[in-house]
Structure 1
Amino acid sequence: MTVVMESPRSARGLSYAMLESHSLETRGKLEPSYQHLNNPCILSWNNLSYAVATPKPTGIKTILDNVSGRCAPGELTAIMGPSGSGKTTLVDLLADRISSGEVTGDIELNGEARVAKTFRAVTSYVAQEDSLLGSFTVLETMRMAAKLSLPNSVTSKQIEARVDDVGEAMGLATCRHTLVGDIFRKGLSGGQKRRLSIAIELLSNPSLLILDEPTSGLDSSATHNVMKFIVKLCAEGKTIVCTIHQPSSLVYDMFTNVVVLSAGQTVYCGPRRLMIPHFASAGHDCPTYMNPAEYFISLVNTDFEDHANVSKLMQSYAQSEIRKELSDRIESDRNTLQHLPDIEQPSPSAMRQFSVLMYRNTLNNIRNPGIYWIRLFMYFCLSFMVGTMYLSTNDDLTEEDLVPLLFYVQAFLVFMSVAVLPFFIEQRAVFARERANSSLSVGFMVPRDSIPDYWIWGYYLAFHSYSFESFVFKQFENETSDAAKGILTKYGMEDVDVSRDMIILIVYIVGFQAIFAVILWKFHTGRRGVGGSAGVGGAASTGAGGATTTTDGRTSTSTSQNGGAKATATTTTAGTTTGTAGTGASTKQTGYRMLRSQ
């Protein structure tokens, strides 16, 4: 059988050099230092296997077994297969998202072994789930994502142009001021959210885009629209690999290449247009009016009885000209392609990251009723309940009466902290996506000798420095190993005066206690100020005329005469009472009290 393989040039009419002037890369163009992301990328994987340890007697479970494939610029490669066939595992390996387990085989970029920093500089990954904050509009989401992914050399004007161009290309221009939406508010549709997730990853202008189930949870119309946008990206010269569970006939016809997996092994990997003839040669003709994708997936689904002889199909593919042509192309890439330069994705400064994250979190807390306003209302109601439970019961309180109150207070604190967990999970998903795509960086401990001179004052000001160096020094002081001595040398702790550190820490303790005492004396003295007075523990009395307040557990009375009306206020320590002169009214509210000794 003679097989003719389409090259990206003949199939798409694309050049591997410069992209066309009307393409997405040239609109909202980035500065020259960021143009390396226009490099064309051919992604290939050869005899790739992945296994994990299990508690089973064998101890090893093979997820992928000798799978191979290749995707070039302008090509859309779809990875299909039944549930559990290893589709997501394969794209996670290709995207360098798996750090555990045993991986064998080759993953190459332009015929060269993948280098992590170069690979991440030219690649973006779109996960199966949309990790978006529902409190922001499409424009705000893309703008903040751009500021977190593009370097400082990209100006604000260029960022705005890039956001506008990517949003327009992904069909989001009409909903740019629409909220993403969450459980409290309606927002974008499922298809729009998927396009927004893809648009966020396109802001950094990647040459290689990897998507895990881009149509998951979408109806047929939304699926078709999302895939049309992905095909547009291919037409601009991007290399795209995606997993897809059960595409329609229209979506199936959009693919350039198809990979079919079953139980972690390759049943087919080659051009989509040669797939039907290949299976027909193996004795499985696709019915005329049946969706080819559904037919082929049902053939290799070993969970049910009506599947084909999968081993025979694998053997047929392994001996086919399609498999031989794939191997030849992978080998040719190693010898003829120009390798990518040793590049690293530039990142924004720590100050820009801090300012963007501070702005985003503050605005999210204010806009999200579940994070701020509902919890604030709950705090108010529960605090009011606690206060009114012990209203006007001063004389009858006993020590045992405080036990339910103390339990209620600690339970209140615990349950209120748990209430934020659902929103923490939402934000954690966004953080994980941004961290994995190198939009965020993490801090690290810097040894004293490596701290710049203009920041060294922070080291000596922080009390942690003295406790930390004492801990480390006492731990390794008597160790004779080279590793222990190396640690002390690395952190400049060969000779630490522990006694001096302890004295400094004691000075810190005394100093903080003194500052706290001054604050209490200055602001909680119980003396009457203008219009009222406040006592320790929250006791307060206000009125026109004279006032006397005690803070030792006794009761005091303040009486004033104004215009013939009399007001009386009674206060106890740790309670709160307000008396208003001129109204003849008095109120008394008691919270958490100190009881008088009987």
Structure 2
Amino acid sequence: MSRIIAENSGGGHVLDAATGNGTPVCETSFDFTKLPSMPFLLSFNHLTYSVKVGRKMPLLTGGGRTKTLLNGISGVARDGEILAVLGASGSGKSTLIDALANRISKGSLKGNITLNDEVVESRVLKSISAYVMQHDLLFPMLTVEETLMFAAEFRLPRTMSKSKKRTRVQALIDQLGLRNATETVIGDEGHRGVSGGERRRVSIGVNIIHDPIILFLDEPTSGLDSTSAFMIPSYRILGLLDRLIILSNGQTVYTGLPTNLSLYFSEFGYSIPKKENKTEFALDLIWELEGSPEGTKSLIEFNKKWQSKNSELVRLCSSLKEAISVSISKGKLVSTSTAMVPRFANSFWKEILVLSNRSILNSRRMPELFVTRLVAVLVTGFILATILGFYACTDTLPVLLHERYIFMRETAYNSYKRSSYVISNALVVLPGLIILSFAFTTITFWAIGLNGGFSGFLYYLLIIFASFWSGSSLVTFLSGIIPHLMLGYPIVVAILECFLLFSGFFINRDRIPAYWIWFHYLSVIKYPYEAVLHNEFDNSTECFMRGIQLFDDTPLVTIPNAMKVRLLQSFSDVLGTKITSSTCFSRGVDILRNQGITDLSKWDCLFITLAWGFFFRILFYFSLLFGSKNKRT
């Protein structure tokens, strides 16, 4: 197993390239039999990466400046070794890791990265590698064993039996020292769970469950508590390392063996005291040089000369495809097949099933989330009756934004397809939406006294469900394009308010300006609102206003009925039309016509509302496809 670790004096970033053991399958024409052979050799040469640093007023200042994060970085990660990348904050450690892990767009990154002298395709790299992020993104209400078991379902081959996957999980639990926390939930701010160190080990276990050939880790020790971190002497960590790369402002100031640090800095003119930690001395010296007028330029040039006379040779290995096949046959990727690893471990329907089971299990242990939504729906039902029920859908935004980052971590290395996640998400929310719709409908239909009888109640239930479905889908789509919760709520509420304003409830459709009428038809609230009106008033035989009711909502409403009848008789004499207290002045179709609701039937409104929900789910898929690649530009 080959590891590359990047650390600074206050903590570290780790890039762990884990490779299998094997024998070389080809040689050059030279006699390199005495040189070490490498089944896998990850090489990177002259990596350069720059970004535009924006300014507050680019139009007045001529645009932003360019900042170089990596400047000609070269090195190798060898099979069976640990390579640590050290440097102060901002030196380029994480950027280098992202570059090697294919998390930077190819157009932005200059230089070349090869595995066994071959450029690795993104699809192949995702299949044979894993990346442990700096932050532990896990489902809070799953236990340690369940978290690892779901990871096994995603990453282990579909041909492996359930019992073998469980055996692999149990072995990994023992390997990571998590046996005492097996049945403990991960936990979060509101739920007590595993410790920080255990949480970090679970994050690592999730990514090594399939025994990847290459493993990248970003700050693997960041989860340790302060006591544990203090009790781990730096010299012990140094004893685990095989090679070092030390960076300063995106450039290499040392590459080589940790044991050569003393000789290296002695020849540079700075001897390391015998009892002082070598890496701490090196980082302190580099920090001092960075503060000097000339910076680390002299050390960078010295490193180039040092490398030219201390470079090492290794025997070239087999082709990448052959090396992967040999590694798989020896147990890597937990497979018995010698063929190239597939892009995804499971079938499309298997992914949906596993994703759904995980979401349901996590949600079932957090009933407060559903209860909150249910209470919001009930209160909204009592107060607003219908259309503002959309606002209950915003409660799902925090959950979706949390899952979004877990999704990015898992799909970055092909745990499952994006389409599987989208369909699973839709299936999981459906039962909750049905319950919320029934609760909302039961309260509002009978409390308000809506018409239509039982058939009207059933249709009202359908349109309320459709409105919740489209509202939930809208929020789900927005969670795919909104990066932060602080931005999420204002944006979602603002969009729903605009939809409500142009739905026809506050402003009649005929009174909306022509240049805004297009927004009326885009309003998701328009269609359930019109559907409810159709369900209530779409009856040509029922009268909703008779003669004597003309005086309602006027100052004459308090006069005796006999006086109202005489006034109606006077109106008849003047207009020449017989008007009595029972004469019908307004039927349902008249009310719909006055509201400008005549172009669509109630069933059209129902189907369009449902269609909006599916449309937003499709947009959600594309937002994940193009906007959640977890790469730097």
Q: TM-score, normalised by structure 2?
A: 0.54
Say if 1:537 and 1:220 are closer, same or farther in 2 by CA, change over 3 A: closer
Residue identity matched to 1:420: T
1:284 aligns with 2:283: no
Q: How many residues align?
A: 383
In 2 relative to 1, CA 551–359 (structure 1 residues): closer, same or farther, beyond 3 Å? farther
Instruction: Check 1:375–1:180 CA distance in 2 against 1; reply closer, same or farther (3 A cut).
Output: same
Distance in 1 between the 2:363 and 2:308 partners? 54
1:479-530 Cα deviation digits (max 9, x unpaired): xxxxxxxxxxxxxxxxxxxxxxxxxxxxxxxxxxxxxx998358589xxxxx
Other-structure match for 1:503: none
Q: Relative to structure 1, is the Cα distance of residues 356 and 551 closer, same or farther in structure 2, using a 3 angstrom cutoff?
A: farther
The secondary structure found in structure 1 opposite 2:220 is coil
Task: Name which of 190, 196, 201 aligns with 1:190.
Answer: 196
Check if 1:429 corresponds to 2:429.
no
- Relative to structure 1, is the Cα distance of residues 339 and 373 closer, same or farther in structure 2, using a 3 angstrom cutoff? same
Per-residue CA deviation, residues 335-385 of structure 1 (Å, 9 max, x unaligned), is: x211221734352011110001111112222212453234434544x348x
Q: 1:86 maps to which residue?
A: 92
The separation in 2 between residues aligned to 1:295 and 1:551, in whole angstroms, is 91
Q: Residue 215 of structure 2 corresponds to which residue in structure 1?
A: 209
Q: Is the 8 A contact 1:51 1:101 kept in 2?
A: no
Give the match for residue 95 of structure 1. 101
Q: What CA distance in whole angstroms lies between the structure 2 residues aligned with 1:281 and 1:303? A: 16
Report if aligned partners of 1:299, 1:307 keep a CA contact under 8 Å in 2: no
Contact 1:66 1:265 in 2 (8 A): yes
- Say if 2:111 is the partner of 1:135: no
Aligned partners of 2:20 and 2:157: how far apart in 1?
28
Residues 50 and 523 of structure 1: is their aligned pair in 2 closer, same or farther, counting only changes over 3 Å? closer
Q: What secondary structure is seen at the aligned counterpart in 2 of 1:301? A: helix
Q: Contact 2:45/2:72 (CA < 8 Å) preserved in 1?
A: yes
1:361 matched residue in structure 2: 359
Provide Cα deviations, 1:286-316, integer angstroms capped at 9, x if missing partner: 3444433333223223797369841111111
Equivalent residues in 2 for 1:13-412, closer than 5 Å: 16-17=21-22, 40-55=39-54, 60-99=66-105, 101-219=107-225, 222-223=228-229, 248-301=234-287, 305=291, 309-320=295-306, 322-326=307-311, 328-329=312-313, 332=314, 336-341=316-321, 343-345=340-342, 346-369=344-367, 371-380=369-378, 382-383=379-380, 386-387=382-383, 410=388
Distance of 1:418 and 1:15 partners within structure 2: 48
Report the Cα distance in structure 2 between the residues aligned to 1:99 and 1:15, rounded to whole angstroms.
28
Name the CA shift for 1:96/1:524 in 2 (closer, same or farther; >3 Å). closer
Shift of 1:200: 1.0
What whole-Å deviation, never above 9, does each CA across 1:225-266 have from its counterpart, x for those lacking one?
9x9xxxxxxxxxxxxxxxxxxx83332332111111111000
Question: Is the CA contact 2:21–2:80 (under 8 Å) kept in the aligned structure 1?
Answer: no
Question: For 2:223 and 2:294, how far apart are their aligned partners in 1?
Answer: 28
Change (3 A) 1:303 1:275: closer
1:551-570 equivalence runs, <5 A:
none
Deviates more, 1:300-309 or 1:204-213: 300-309
Distance in 1 (CA, whole Å) between partners of 2:394 and 2:419 is: 27
Letter in 2 for 1:428: R
Counterpart of 1:253 in 2: which secondary structure? helix
Closer, same or farther in 2 for the Cα pair 1:427/1:157, shift >3 Å?
A: same
Partner of 1:460: none
Query: Which residue type is aligned with residue 284 of structure 2?
Result: S
1:515-563 CA-to-partner distances (Å, cap 9, x unmatched) read: xx998358589xxxxxxxxxx989xxxxxxxxxxx99769xxxxxxxxx
- The 1:185/1:294 distance shift into structure 2, 3 A limit, reads same
CA distance 1:323–1:139, change in 2 (3 Å)? farther
Relative distance call for 1:105 and 1:15 in structure 2 (3 A) is closer
Q: Which residue of 2 aligns with 1:419?
A: 395
Q: What is the DSSP-based 3-state SS (H/G/I as helix, E as strand, rest coil) of the residue aligned with 2:369?
A: coil
Structure (1 or 2) with the greater helix fraction: 2
Instruction: Say whether the 8 Å CA contact 1:224–1:250 is kept in structure 2.
Output: no
Q: What whole-Å deviation, never above 9, does each CA across 1:257-276 have from its counterpart, x for those lacking one?
A: 11111110001111111122
Cα separation, 1, equivalents of 2:218 and 2:293: 26
Q: 1:141 to 1:164 in 2, by over 3 A?
A: same
Separation in 1, partners of 2:266, 2:20: 34
- The 2-side partners of 1:141 and 1:220 are apart by 26
Query: Partner of 1:252: helix, strand, or coil?
Result: helix
Distance in structure 1 (CA, Å) of the matches to 2:273 and 2:223: 27
Determine the structure 1 residue equivalent to 2:517: none
Q: C-alpha displacement at 1:157, in angstroms?
A: 1.4
Q: Take 1:375 and 1:251, find their aligned partners in 2: how far apart are those partners?
A: 49
Alpha-carbon offset, residue 443 of structure 1: 4.0
Structure 1 counterpart of 2:370, which letter? Y
1:403-552 residue pairs with structure 2 within 5 A? 410=388, 413-414=390-391, 416-443=392-419, 520=455, 523=458
Question: Residue 310 and residue 356 in structure 1: after superposition, are their counterparts in 2 closer, same or farther (change >3 A)?
Answer: same
List runs of 5+ in structure 1 lacking aligned partners: 1-13, 19-38, 228-246, 388-404, 445-516, 526-535, 539-549, 555-593
Q: Distance in 1 between matches of 2:240 and 2:230?
A: 10
RMSD of Structure 2 on Structure 1 (CA): 3.7
Structure 1 position 217, deviation (Å):
4.6
Q: 1:268 to 1:518 in 2, by over 3 A?
A: farther
TM-score normalised by L of structure 1? 0.57
Q: Distance in 1 between matches of 2:458 and 2:295?
A: 84
The answer for unaligned runs of 5 or more in structure 2 is 1-18, 24-37, 55-61, 323-339, 421-451, 461-530, 534-540, 546-590, 592-633
Asked if structure 2 preserves the Cα contact closer than 8 Å seen for 1:64 and 1:264, the reply is yes
Alignment partners' CA distance in 2, 1:253 and 1:304: 27
Distance 1:15 1:210 in 2: 15
